[in-house]
Amino acid sequence: MPSGLSEISPLPSKETVNKAGRKLAGWLYDSEVEISDDELEPLMLHVYAWRAQHYGPLGLVMPMLREWSDRYSTSNIKPSQRLKRFKQILDKLYRHPEMKLARMQDIGGARAVLANRNEVEKLHANIRDNWGIQRTKDWRDEGRPDTGYRALHLMVAKRDQLSGEDRIVEIQLRTEAEHRWSQVIMAAGDQLGYSLRDGDGPADLLDYFKLASEVLALIDQDAPADKDLRERFAAAREQVRPYFTPKETS
């Protein structure tokens, strides 16, 4: 974090934050976008200041999320939290040119992993009844079209003491099967040099993980995969096997 962050007063407006995020994202990935040395630090400070306004709200979410998770979940995986890293923020702004930084809803993120869908629904209802939900993204039944990612995302508003305003915290609720899929696709992406979770990679790899997600979703629902799905998944697995097979060196 830049050393001058604590000296920002007043905090930047949302318009200033949006402009800073857009310009930095362009500068990082587009060689035609130039930023002078005098401009760079103030722009970075605006983005860091906005990011910092999600730390307190995230801290308000986590104690109760841990308590409720202990109450409803039989999974051994404990809730976790993270603030989106600076570069990840710029990555997302560049991938989504229409997005404004002040409207990005996953800067502060929390996650709870539960054993099954029934436990997810119990925690979901508890969050709704106690905090209210600003927005819901439910990818459990169909999966995200680009990757097959499945989870329930809930956006809740909590007060930030720095600004005196509410900031959004995104809470991810996953089953163990959904979490396992997410961990595997992230590890595969890291190994192969692709951002597979974001839909970046060879089509056959993305198709394989979509099919794997479909199979795991049926397992979550105690429903057997039909013959067509099993055959397509087996064929896709063979298709991507070379990606994970060590190449022989001469």
Element (DSSP H or E) covering residue 155: strand 152-159
CA 26 to chain centre: 21
Q: What is the pLDDT of residue 215?
A: 94
Using the 8-state DSSP alphabet, how is residue 116 labeled? S
Residues of the chain with CATH 3.30.460.10: 9-178
Q: Which residues contact 143 (CB under 8 A, 6 or more apart)?
A: 149, 150, 210, 213, 214, 217
What are 28-41's pLDDT values in tens digits? 988 888 999 999 99
**Residue among 88, 87, 92, 68 at smallest CA distance from 78:** 68
Q: What is the pLDDT of residue 249?
A: 59
Indicate whether 250 pLDDT > 80.
Answer: no
Indicate whether 170 pLDDT > 80.
Answer: yes
For residues 202 and 94, the answer to whether their CB atoms sit within 8 Å is no
For residues 76 and 82, the answer to whether their CB atoms sit within 8 Å is no
Kindly indicate the confidence band of residue 185, based on its pLDDT and cuts at 50, 70 and 90.
very high
Q: In what order do the strands lie in the sheet with 80-83?
A: 80-83, 108-114, 166-175, 152-159, 135-138
- As given in the structure block, the two tokens for residue 92 are 């997302």
Tell me the residue type at 70. D
Mean pLDDT of the chain: 93
**11-14-19 Cα angle (round to 5):** 105
Q: Kindly tell me the sign of the dihedral angle through the C-alpha atoms of 148, 153, 155, 161.
A: negative
Indicate whether 6 pLDDT > 80.
Answer: no
Q: What is the pLDDT of residue 134?
A: 97
What are 63-120's pLDDT values in tens digits? 999 999 999 999 999 999 999 999 999 999 999 999 999 999 999 999 999 999 999 9
* CATH for the stretch 9-178: 3.30.460.10
Q: What is the pLDDT of residue 235?
A: 97
Indicate whether 209 pLDDT > 80.
Answer: yes
Using the 8-state DSSP alphabet, how is residue 137 labeled? E
| Residue 246 to residue 52: CA distance in whole angstroms | 43
Share of the chain above pLDDT 70, in %: 95
| Residue 130 to residue 61: CA distance in whole angstroms | 11
